[in-house]
Amino acid sequence: MRFVTLIATLLGAVVAPRRGVGSRTTQRIGPAWQVGFSRQSDLEFRRLLDKLPAAAYTCDADGLITYFNDHAVELWGREPRLRHPSDRFCGSFLLFAPDGSPIPHADCWMALALRENRQYNGEEIIIERKDGTRCTVLAHANPLHDRAGRIIGAVNVLVDITDRKRAETVLREADRSKNEFLAMLAHELRNPLAPMHSALRLMRLTDDAAALMHARGTLERQLGHLTRVVDDLLDLARITRNTLELRRERIDLRSVLHQAVETCRPQLESASQALSVNLTDEPMQLDADPHRLAQLFGNLLNNASKYTEARGRVWLTAERQGSDAIVTVRDNGIGIAPEAVARIFDMFIRVDESVQRAHDGLGIGLSLARRVVELHGGTIEASSAGLGMGSEFRVHLPLTIERSRTLGPTLAGESDEAIAVRPRRILIVDDNPDSAESLAELLALSGHETHVAHDGAAAVEAARALRPEVVVLDIGLPKMNGYEAAREIRRQPHGSEVMLVALTGWGQDEDRRKSRDAGFDHHLVKPIDYRVFARLLREAS
């Protein structure tokens, strides 16, 4: 080991007092071995050790410290005494093995290197400083020899890996959470499948109206659940990539809250829980994304119901406080332990699995809630008097000051029936036959003439032959993708008149830009929201 040889050669020089940490003057190298090196060698030695990006110290053959550099002082938190028995081998610091067991000074790596005349490299060790703080280091302890081969001391280079260890722990924890999450996800995705299979089977076997109605209800509920899980997953991806976006419009917060209540009402009713809603009479105008806010408050209400016993109570209040809207969702349910309150907004956190195994959920809802609130410039906090004492979630959102403008359109509370649309000839293109047919059937029920195609080339042909007024195009299509098909359709004689709607699983800005460039008029993300689609049809002249 060249470095050790070099130090061994240089050691022993009589060194003049040198600058210590701060402005004090400290003698860091004692007159260990008077072997007569030149002052020049000594300076080179000091420069070398000063530049070393690690803590380094040396001791003589008795283990008394003869040298240490600045990094060593930083690491230990104080300077050890040179050539002093109380700081023998490595100072009077407490040392521990990685498993936490204490290491006596006489058995530390420096002592072993001297006693056994052998090298110990890359040995992990924990040092506890006088103030109780700990750091993890890799020790490289090596004996030093004179020209005759006799041990004259040892050198120890300590590399601080505390940050790396901390990062490792965080990664290990993240990996554990990820595995738990995947297990939970598999469970969440599989759960709705069995009742859906049974319901479909039942529909095939019976004509009984009541049984059919029941089966349809089951399908709707379970499909709703699956859709929520998939939506959560997509949102999770958006949160982790920081690409969650808002589609802001002027809204009245109260209509969003009504919408959230309506979404959760079936769940509250099935658990016979009483919901008290107390909203201010004044309008509460926000420039906000109504869909995200309805999702946020829907999540809080959903949780309030989920973590509350049957026949429990849930309260929703909204009031104005200065220039903020304060929305509170409170319940008298299982509550949250004080130590868990700060963590519940973290991703994948599900408090005390034993209590909550009975409840479904991926532990994403509250992280998403926090992100959505932050994007709106607000805050969210949770509180609970403890387990069994109920919980409260308080959301602050900044109100829009200007009050004269009329409220913009909102979908909140708008029913499908409210949107009357003139019948159109619509071509639906999707390589998944079920998706295409089901959308076509639904639109046909509203009086539209519908046609389907399953690849890009067929879509272009169908558009030429049928001259539809509206084409709903999937993007990932065989033979010719949706962008190319859109361009081809636009090139047709009547291509500029047709309304082109991209219907895809991708909803990032970049995806929207691409579809605009390809000539699409609108970009909708699957699953299609019929009210939004009907609105587009109505707005098109």
Is 254 a binder of ligand ADP (CB under 6 A)? Answer: no
Measured in degrees and rounded to the nearest 5, phi and psi for residue 264 equal -90, -10
Q: Which is nearer to ligand ADP, 298 or 468 (CB)?
A: 298
Q: Which is nearer to ligand ADP, 89 or 297 (CB)?
A: 297
Among all residues, whose Cβ is closest to ligand ADP? Answer: 361
Q: Comparing C-alpha atoms, which of 253, 254, 232, 226 is closest to residue 244?
A: 232
Residues in region 509-528 near ligand ADP by CB under 6 A: none
Burial class (CB in 10 A: 0-12, 13-18, 19+), 207: exposed
The least CB distance from residue 65 to ligand ADP, in Å, is 53
Q: Which is nearer to ligand ADP, 69 or 305 (CB)?
A: 305
Looking at 108, 112, 155, 334, which residue binds ligand ADP (CB under 6 A)? 334
Length of the chain: 541
Looking at 333, 378, 456, 495, which residue binds ligand ADP (CB under 6 A)? 333
Q: Which stretch binds ligand ADP (CB under 6 A): 139-147, 326-334, 441-449, 509-517?
A: 326-334
Residues in region 437-456 near ligand ADP by CB under 6 A: none
Asked whether the beta carbons of 448 and 424 are under 8 A apart, the reply is: yes
Strands 324-331 and 285-288: unpaired
**Strand locations in 399-492 (E):** 425-429, 449-453, 470-473
Residues in region 343-402 near ligand ADP by CB under 6 A: 344, 349-351, 356, 361-366, 391
Q: Which stretch binds ligand ADP (CB under 6 A): 122-130, 149-157, 175-183, 329-337?
A: 329-337
The least CB distance from residue 383 to ligand ADP, in Å, is 11
Is 331 a binder of ligand ADP (CB under 6 A)? Answer: yes
**What is d(CA 142, CA 159) in angstroms, rounded to the nearest whole number?**
14
Asked whether the beta carbons of 103 and 110 are under 8 A apart, the reply is: no
Q: Which is nearer to ligand ADP, 94 or 375 (CB)?
A: 375
The least CB distance from residue 416 to ligand ADP, in Å, is 29
Asked whether the beta carbons of 388 and 335 are under 8 A apart, the reply is: yes
Q: 380 forms bridges with which residues in the sheet?
A: 395
Amino acid identity for residue 136 in this structure: T
Q: Which is nearer to ligand ADP, 355 or 444 (CB)?
A: 355
Q: 158 forms bridges with which residues in the sheet?
A: 55, 139
Q: Which is nearer to ligand ADP, 236 or 525 (CB)?
A: 236
Asked whether the beta carbons of 391 and 331 are under 8 A apart, the reply is: yes
Question: How many degrees, rounded to 5, is the angle at CA 321 between CA 319 and CA 324?
Answer: 90
The least CB distance from residue 280 to ligand ADP, in Å, is 23
How is residue 540 written in tokens?
């098109």
Q: Which is nearer to ligand ADP, 392 or 455 (CB)?
A: 392
Looking at 33, 181, 307, 533, which residue binds ligand ADP (CB under 6 A)? 307
Asked whether the beta carbons of 272 and 311 are under 8 A apart, the reply is: yes
Is 336 a binder of ligand ADP (CB under 6 A)? Answer: yes
Is 27 a binder of ligand ADP (CB under 6 A)? Answer: no
Q: Which is nearer to ligand ADP, 28 or 371 (CB)?
A: 371
Q: Which is nearer to ligand ADP, 255 or 299 (CB)?
A: 299
**What is d(CA 477, CA 230) in angstroms, rounded to the nearest whole number?**
21
Question: 256: alpha, beta or left, given left = phi > 0 and alpha = psi -120 to 50?
Answer: alpha
Q: Which is nearer to ligand ADP, 295 or 504 (CB)?
A: 295
Q: How many residues bind ligand ADP (CB under 6 A)?
A: 20
Asked whether the beta carbons of 161 and 181 are under 8 A apart, the reply is: no
**What is d(CA 449, CA 441) in angstroms, rounded to the nearest whole number?**
10
Q: Which stretch binds ligand ADP (CB under 6 A): 12-20, 34-42, 222-230, 302-310?
A: 302-310
Is 236 a binder of ligand ADP (CB under 6 A)? Answer: no
The least CB distance from residue 329 to ligand ADP, in Å, is 8
Q: Comparing C-alpha atoms, which of 432, 430, 439 is closest to residue 458?
A: 430
Is 304 a binder of ligand ADP (CB under 6 A)? Answer: yes
Asked whether the beta carbons of 485 and 429 are under 8 A apart, the reply is: yes
Binding site for ligand ADP (CB under 6 A): 299, 303-304, 307, 331, 333-334, 336, 344, 349-351, 356, 361-366, 391
